[in-house]
Structure 1
């Protein structure tokens, strides 16, 4: 579950600001957080009926809400499978419906940090570890691929392992760095991918799991991977990052783009020409220089991706509101 307050609040209130009423269907794992938002909205004086709280099993009510003839806009953050299903169902014109539905979907990523030669390897390692393991890797922008130039590969990998060993895992009430993943389904999925990673590459760090008092997964680094390996292609949504070695910057960009997703990316380089090449060719909606690939700031970094990452709605910008409006041009002559 990704940022259950920020994303849920933003996708709920943007259409309200644009003058719409909203049916808020929270993720089944986090209904109470959405309920607390409803309390805040009521306390703030939002009229009843503007935002309507509709928790429930998505299998029972999800299709109904999407299919309904009076649903004009659908905004969704979640998996690729669910997002494409929503997109497909929204295209069907229901009986009594006289408009085309608009879908805003954010469906995840397979985000990469590209590390060039002749760079600050400490900065590169910190960017990778912070981006990969913050929020236990449960962010659509999390770094799950480290694409590193051969000249600095061993050093960046070694420093990333060292930093990862310093991370704490446990109950975050005690200011522990990493907490559990959201549920057993995700816990089992991550375990499966760690097993795959051991087969495709080398387990360098982590890989352990514990579900005795929550669904805890150690921050995991897997090296020696190839671009087409499953660890490098499929979204895991957990604390797992794969390392791949490249011969030059051209190959690095080629590997970075070798995925169905195009959400975020970062480039660690001191070469201005390489950065301009990345700006022109790295096919992601949010691209960062010499920092991690996460933590877009609302109002400064409008957020949204290309390809199968979604509809590139650029959440967090004034333009986002236009997705929830119908624009009308009026011309008068006297």
Structure 2
């Protein structure tokens, strides 16, 4: 920032809306590197604006972007169904669903569909929504009024696209609280199966067989996280090759990557697959230089 004629610590004093400040920083000719986590729309805008060489700029700007997901859990017909239900509930409703890795799609083979759905509904109804400072609370509010209105809008859409099994209610009188919401029998191409909601909403759909389940899982523009609950090693290996996400988990939920152990990042419209927490991540923030000396 000193190169740009700005004093050290100037970022502490910037004011203005995020769009105004963000555009200025992204487009400034002295900005060399951009690391972003946020929505698909903003990430694509940054990628677009960073590609334009500004007057006085003498480098190509590097962009790392992590832009969200539409993450799915597949439940096989021979899976541990209790493990599946527990994994779905934690992955869908932890942090009020406000995680780019949150489970928002559940794809269950038709043989066990009703069993998994009913157990997830049963567990979801037991969750306590309220003051996050209380140990008994599982789910606090969503972040602000804008998020609340967006999620409630998608719940209204979901009521037209699937069967509401539980939840679907919000209360903004003392915070922005939304009951964890489960929709069943949703078409894979429905909006709540395709668009990132970023809230406590999960949609269930039925698959004829495991190949069909993989087809549904890959039927999205995102590619961040996914999970498969199965005892079938052949199907797990098939998913390893054909489930197109940056972070894939077997027999556990699709959230909670461990730094260093499960480097995190997705591809397609989930971002640049830069794998935060991995051994190569630091190199993305550096500039390589080779020095040779002859004797």
**Smaller-chain TM-score range?**
over 0.9
> What residue number does 1:91 align with?
51
Q: Is 1:59 the counterpart of 2:19 in the alignment?
A: yes
Deviation of 1:59 after TM superposition, in Å, equals 2.3
Distance 1:51 1:145 in 2: 43
Distance 1:119 1:300 in 2: 25
> What residue number does 2:131 align with?
171
Residue of 199, 206, 209 corresponding to 2:160: 199
> What residue number does 1:187 align with?
148
TM-score calculated relative to the size of structure 1? 0.84
Distance 1:79 1:220 in 2: 22
> What residue number does 2:41 align with?
81
Distance 1:74 1:59 in 2: 15
Distance 2:55 2:92 in 1: 46
> What residue number does 2:77 align with?
117
TM-score calculated relative to the size of structure 2? 0.95
Deviation of 1:198 after TM superposition, in Å, equals 0.7
Residue of 270, 278, 286 corresponding to 2:231: 270
SS of the counterpart of 1:132? helix
Q: Is 1:225 the counterpart of 2:212 in the alignment?
A: no
Deviation of 1:61 after TM superposition, in Å, equals 0.9
Deviation of 1:318 after TM superposition, in Å, equals 2.5
Distance 2:60 2:218 in 1: 32
Q: C-alpha deviations, 1:273-311, integer Å up to 9, x for none?
A: 100100000000000000000000111110000100000
Distance 2:32 2:62 in 1: 6
Q: Which runs of 4+ in 1 moved over 6 A?
A: none
Structure 1 gaps, min length 5? 1-19, 22-47
Distance 2:16 2:258 in 1: 31
Distance 2:193 2:286 in 1: 38
How many positions carry a matched residue from both structures? Answer: 290
Q: Is 1:135 the counterpart of 2:95 in the alignment?
A: yes
Distance 2:11 2:20 in 1: 17
Structure 2 gaps, min length 5? none
Residue of 274, 291, 294 corresponding to 1:330: 291
SS of the counterpart of 1:318? coil
Residue of 213, 216, 238 corresponding to 2:174: 213
SS of the counterpart of 1:173? coil
Deviation of 1:120 after TM superposition, in Å, equals 1.2
Q: Is 1:321 the counterpart of 2:282 in the alignment?
A: yes
> What residue number does 1:304 align with?
265
Distance 1:243 1:60 in 2: 39
Matches within 5 A, 1:21-40: none
Deviation of 1:50 after TM superposition, in Å, equals 7.3
Distance 1:290 1:270 in 2: 8
Q: C-alpha deviations, 1:106-157, integer Å up to 9, x for none?
A: 1100000000011111110000000000000000000000000001100000
Q: C-alpha deviations, 1:63-91, integer Å up to 9, x for none?
A: 00000011011111111110000000000
SS of the counterpart of 2:272? coil
